[in-house]
């Protein structure tokens, strides 16, 4: 069985008053324009870039967005800031812009090329790279005052994303099985052959060894992973779904998200072993996702949609119980056996970090239903297991020092 279970809907129910604790919620939208990139320097200050030279800025976590004048009408595919003041944006027809005052003003830098530049990444205020069509990789060591070409060895294929973990180690990915890596700041680029049918849109590394690339494999939706710096790659997700994955981001080694077409968002909490759906409640194509930590993140895309989560994207409804339970409790799911839908209830007598996970009988994790701090109270979770294979499953709760496991039977 594939790792992804698309049909998981989670909600908490109580006879007491219910208060929403939203997973992803909409901050902004404008159907006239599209956004292609989002970047935050802290939980308050961030920027998006997109069509017709759009750059928008927020200083309150995305609650309000202000348009900034860029001096260009070219599409801006990428934006990246290294601090609250200094950042760059790259776009169509060789466009590179720089700001030194937090995006209030932008200055056009000479790139020396006319191809579309689709991604930009800086490791400090001086050293950065842009990548784009026809295998173009440009580097600067003086903040963009001068850009020079690096030889990627790729001419007929374009790059969609470039990422550096430090001034030496970097990766670029793109069309038709294009992955290239460097260990010396781009002086030399080594092309890696992975899967011939794949096209890649985004690359992100959590250290010099562990990284992820996402895109499509002909049938949409592929995520690949490396643990040796990019020499070898394995497929950790490949489903014939309707979702192309345009962007991937990991704030730590275990937890990451991909975002793609038709509002599709997947999350992993175990380093890519399993991918579970977050529900965005939108149909926009999501082009870029960014997280500051395991809870706070944003995604943006077509129709200028900007979404935010403050709980890691978990779609829960929290409860203000009238009666505090006296003890921890995990109930038997009902109905059991079940076909697609079943309920699991539990109680916690004190505020606790709660995890509730479904496993098969071999101990393989299928999905984590809850993985966060919850207030004391009684909770009920509806599990839609459509997509599971028939059989016996285990569900286990951990809360404080309490742990309990029960069996449930799914029959198609």
Per the rule left: phi > 0, alpha: psi between -120 and 50, beta: everything else, 23 is: alpha
Q: What is the pLDDT of residue 319?
A: 54
pLDDT in tens, 166-214: 999 999 999 888 899 999 999 999 999 888 889 999 999 999 999 999 9
Q: What is the pLDDT of residue 19?
A: 33
CATH 2.60.40.2550 maps onto the chain at 316-410
β-bridge partners, 130:
120, 138
Contact call for residues 211 and 249 (beta carbons, < 8 A): no
Strand ordering across the sheet containing 391-399: 365-374, 352-360, 391-399, 402-410
More confident residue, 140 or 154: 140
**Which residue's structure tokens are 């979702």?**
243
CA dist., res. 287 & res. 244, Å (int): 10
Q: What is the pLDDT of residue 151?
A: 86
Q: Is the pLDDT of residue 348 over 70?
A: yes
Residue 403 tokens, joined: 């742990």
Instruction: Compute the average pLDDT of residues 155-160.
Output: 84
Strand ordering across the sheet containing 234-238: 199-205, 211-217, 219-226, 234-238
Q: Is the pLDDT of residue 129 over 90?
A: yes
- What is the pLDDT confidence band of residue 339, given thresholds at 50, 70 and 90? confident
- What is the pLDDT confidence band of residue 240, given thresholds at 50, 70 and 90? low
- What is the pLDDT confidence band of residue 324, given thresholds at 50, 70 and 90? confident
Q: Maximum CA pair distance of the chain? A: 70
CA–chain centroid gap for 38, Å, is 11
- Strands 245-249 and 159-164, by their bridges, are unpaired
CA dist., res. 11 & res. 369, Å (int): 10
Angstrom CA distances, 359 to 103, 130, 311, stand at 47, 43, 23
Please give the class, per CATH, of domain 23-309: mainly beta
Give me Rg for the CA atoms of the chain: 22
Q: Which of 47, 96, 48 is nearest to 71 (CA)?
A: 96
Residue 102 tokens, joined: 């937090």
Q: Is the pLDDT of residue 378 over 80?
A: yes
pLDDT in tens, 280-318: 878 899 999 999 999 999 999 999 999 999 888 875 555
Q: What is the pLDDT of residue 273?
A: 85
Cβ neighbours of residue 399 under 8 Å, at least 6 residues apart?
Answer: 328, 346, 348, 352, 353, 354, 355, 374
Cβ atoms < 10 Å from Cβ of 389:
11
Q: Is the pLDDT of residue 24 over 90?
A: no
- What is the pLDDT confidence band of residue 74, given thresholds at 50, 70 and 90? very high
CA–chain centroid gap for 370, Å, is 19
Instruction: Compute the average pLDDT of residues 31-36.
Output: 96
Contact call for residues 11 and 341 (beta carbons, < 8 A): no
Q: pTM to 2 decimals?
A: 0.78
CATH 2.130.10.10 maps onto the chain at 23-309
Q: Is the pLDDT of residue 16 over 70?
A: no
Torsion angle, CA of 316/322/327/332, rounded to 10 degrees?
Answer: -50
CATH number for region 316-410? 2.60.40.2550
Torsion angle, CA of 385/387/390/395, rounded to 10 degrees?
Answer: -40
Q: Which of 206, 54, 204 is nearest to 214 (CA)?
A: 204
Helix/strand/coil (H/E/C) assignment for every residue in 31-59:
CCCCEEEEEECCCCCEEEEEHHHCEEEEC
Buried b (16+ CB within 10 A) or exposed e, 196-224: eebbbbbbbbbeeebbbbbbbbeebbbbb
């Amino acid at each position: 069985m594939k790792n992804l279970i698309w049909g998981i809907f989670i909600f908490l129910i109580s006879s007491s008053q219910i208060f929403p604790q939203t997973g992803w919620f909409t901050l902004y939208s404008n159907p006239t324009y599209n956004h292609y990139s989002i970047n935050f320097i802290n939980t308050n200050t961030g920027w998006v870039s997109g069509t017709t030279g759009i750059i928008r800025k927020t200083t309150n976590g995305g609650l309000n967005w202000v348009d900034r004048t860029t001096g260009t009408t070219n599409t801006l595919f990428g934006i990246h800031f290294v601090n609250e003041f200094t950042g760059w944006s790259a776009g169509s027809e060789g466009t590179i812009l720089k700001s030194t005052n937090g995006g209030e003003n932008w200055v056009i830098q000479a790139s020396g090329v006319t191809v579309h530049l689709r991604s930009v990444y800086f490791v400090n205020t001086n050293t950065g790279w842009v990548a784009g069509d026809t295998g173009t990789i440009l580097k600067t060591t003086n903040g963009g005052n001068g850009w020079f070409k690096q030889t990627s060895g790729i001419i007929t294929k374009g790059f969609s994303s470039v990422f550096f973990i430090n001034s030496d180690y970097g990766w670029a990915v793109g069309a038709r099985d294009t992955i290239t890596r460097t260990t010396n700041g781009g002086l030399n680029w080594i092309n890696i052959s992975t899967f011939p049918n794949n096209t890649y849109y985004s690359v992100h590394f959590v250290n010099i060894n562990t990284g992820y690339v996402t895109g499509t494999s002909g049938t949409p939706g592929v995520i690949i992973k490396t643990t040796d710096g990019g020499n070898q790659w394995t497929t950790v997700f490949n489903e014939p779904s309707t979702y192309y994955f345009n962007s991937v981001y990991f704030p730590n080694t275990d937890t990451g998200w991909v975002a793609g077409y038709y509002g599709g968002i997947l999350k992993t909490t175990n380093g890519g072993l399993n991918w579970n759906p977050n529900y965005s409640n939108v149909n926009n194509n999501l082009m870029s996702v960014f997280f500051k930590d395991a809870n706070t993140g944003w995604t943006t895309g077509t129709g200028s949609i900007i979404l935010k989560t403050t709980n890691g994207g978990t779609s829960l409804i929290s409860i203000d119980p009238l009666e505090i339970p006296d003890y921890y409790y995990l109930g038997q799911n009902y109905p059991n056996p079940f076909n697609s839908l079943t309920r699991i209830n539990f109680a916690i007598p004190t505020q606790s970090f709660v995890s509730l996970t479904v496993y098969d009988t071999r101990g393989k994790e299928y999905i984590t239903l809850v993985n966060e701090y919850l207030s004391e109270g009684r909770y009920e979770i509806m599990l839609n297991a459509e997509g599971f294979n028939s059989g016996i499953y285990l569900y286990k709760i951990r809360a404080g020092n309490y742990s309990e496991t029960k069996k449930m039977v799914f029959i198609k």
